[in-house]
Structure 1
Amino acid sequence: MAPRIPLPGPEQMNPAQKAVYDKIVSGPRGTLVGPLRAALHNPALADRWQALGQVLRYETSLPRDLNELAILVTARHWNSELEWTIHAKAALAAGLDKAVIEAIRTGAAPAFSGADERRIYDFSRDLLEQGQVGDAAYAAVLDRWGEVGVVELAALVGYYTMVAMTLNAHRVPLPDHIPAELNSDRTTRTPLPASPAQAAG
């Protein structure tokens, strides 16, 4: 699927775009493959976007595997192919169980090995499916990670929703060497089920 707008490479960028590009690729991302390719049409937007994204992806108080879990729930909710593919790999590298990743990919209820994973999943799923977080799911995150953690998690889900919207709206493609995993040509979402503990509650 071709992008709907030009996504310039470094050699086509104007000086303002190139300055932001250099900042991105010299940071923890190390590359530019996602929504910032589109955001660079407004370098000021791209610069502030990349700074916020760096905080939410790499500098929260949440463990890396749980951060990536919340991102995967968001990517699956919005059927965002590029977001999913990048973060499924990152989640696996961070130690998230491959079976959990596969369950989310296929829209099945994940079998979590620990309560922390379930807390993150339930909060993220509630927020995406309902636009709200139920009292039990909210309290579970608040009790475990405090005010900082619950604020970070809500911001993380919101930020990666913006990422997914940008990727989907502009049809930002996967790099040629990466196969698609979500069949993102579909226009319908794949709702995620409640975790077994939340459904039983």
Structure 2
Amino acid sequence: MSQMPPDPDPDRGSPAAKPPRLPTPRLAALRDPAAFDPAQHAMWESVVSGPRAATAVRPEGQLSGPFDVLLRSPQIGTAVSDLGALLRFSTSLGPRLTEVVTLTVASHWHARLAWSGHAKGARAQGIPESAIERVARGEDPAFKSPSDHAAWSVAHALVTTGHVSDDLYAAAISVLGERTLVEVVALTGYYCLTSFLLNTFEVPVSHGVTTPWDPPAE
């Protein structure tokens, strides 16, 4: 198996200490399409009719993920939705590598909602629970698949340092090829954007769902 070199500075860019409380939504959920303007209607339809349709609307009635937030800027929201659908469902990565990258980003930023959904997706793709737990701790998940390891190594290097070293680049391109490496980098950036939206506006996980960064139960 091709070995990925270690990150040059794994601590740089680490998120702040674990928040002492669970997120509290900072925006009121938008659940009434009758009150939307035309741009909001167009965005809503682009989300609920696309490849994520089965999970597009939360049980409470608002759009899932960052998309309820993005209804405040629907032109950007539609573009983000379209880009996300392309990166998640229409690349050479396939579902497994997509989940590897997404978990790596969500873990670094402690993006609880992204983590909760994609940890479930990772399990469905056969990613071992031990690897998921190591990703949550920011540790090398010790993937046996060269492709899994390359995708994790690149995403982890990007979120922790913002760079990919020459040695890591050479190793990753030999495993993934040019197209897939471009898509790993693009997906990493997309989920950084998603994580920032979820964290800034404190979009909560569903009731009863826990994540590795929840405060201790009192």
TM over 0.5: yes
Q: CA deviation at 1:19?
A: 2.5
Choose from 30, 33, 40 the match for 1:8: 30
Report if aligned partners of 2:99, 2:118 keep a CA contact under 8 Å in 1. yes
Tell me, what secondary structure is at the counterpart of 1:148? helix
Amino acid at match of 1:182: P
Residue 185 (structure 1) shift: 5.8
Shift of 1:182: 2.5
Q: 1:82 to 1:55 in 2, by over 3 A?
A: same
Note if contact 1:141-1:150 (Cα within 8 Å) is conserved in structure 2. Answer: yes
CA distance in 2, matches of 1:91, 1:135: 29
Is 1:109 the counterpart of 2:134 in the alignment?
A: no
What is the alpha-carbon distance in structure 1 between the residues aligned to residue 215 and residue 41 of structure 2? 32
Q: CA RMSD in A?
A: 1.8
Distance 1:138 1:153 in 2: 12
In the TM superposition, residue 17 of structure 1 has moved relative to its aligned partner by: 1.2
Which sections of structure 2, spanning at least 5 residues, go unmatched?
1-22, 57-62
Shift of 1:60: 1.2
Greater alpha carbon shift after TM alignment, 136-145 vs 119-128: 136-145
CA distance, structure 1, for counterparts of residue 215 and residue 197 of structure 2: 16
Residues 140-149 or 46-55, more deviating: 140-149
CA separation in 1, counterparts of 2:90 and 2:168?
23
Structure-2 residue corresponding to 1:91: 122
Structure 1 window deviating more from structure 2 (84-93 vs 103-112): it is: 103-112
Listed as ranges, the gaps of 5+ residues in structure 1 are 187-201
Greater mean deviation of Cα atoms: 141-150 or 128-137: 141-150
7-16 vs 51-60, which deviates more?
7-16
Q: Which has the higher helix share?
A: 1
Residue identity opposite 1:180 in structure 2: T
Question: How much does 1:86 deviate?
Answer: 0.9
Task: For 1:47 and 1:104, locate their aligned partners in 2 and report how far apart those are by CA, in whole Å.
Answer: 30
Shift, 1:159, TM fit:
0.8
Q: Which amino acid aligns with 1:183?
A: W
TM-score (norm 1): 0.84
The question of whether the paired residues in 1 share the 8 Å contact of 2:136 and 2:212 is answered with: yes
| Whole-angstrom distance in 2 between the partners of 1:85 and 1:57 | 16
Q: Which residue is equivalent to 1:69? A: 100
Tell me if the contact between 1:75 and 1:83 (Cα under 8 Å) persists in the aligned partners.
yes
Bigger drift between 150-159 and 24-33 goes to 24-33
TM-score, normalising length from structure 2? 0.78
User: Does the Cα contact within 8 Å between 1:10 and 1:21 map onto a contact in 2?
Assistant: no
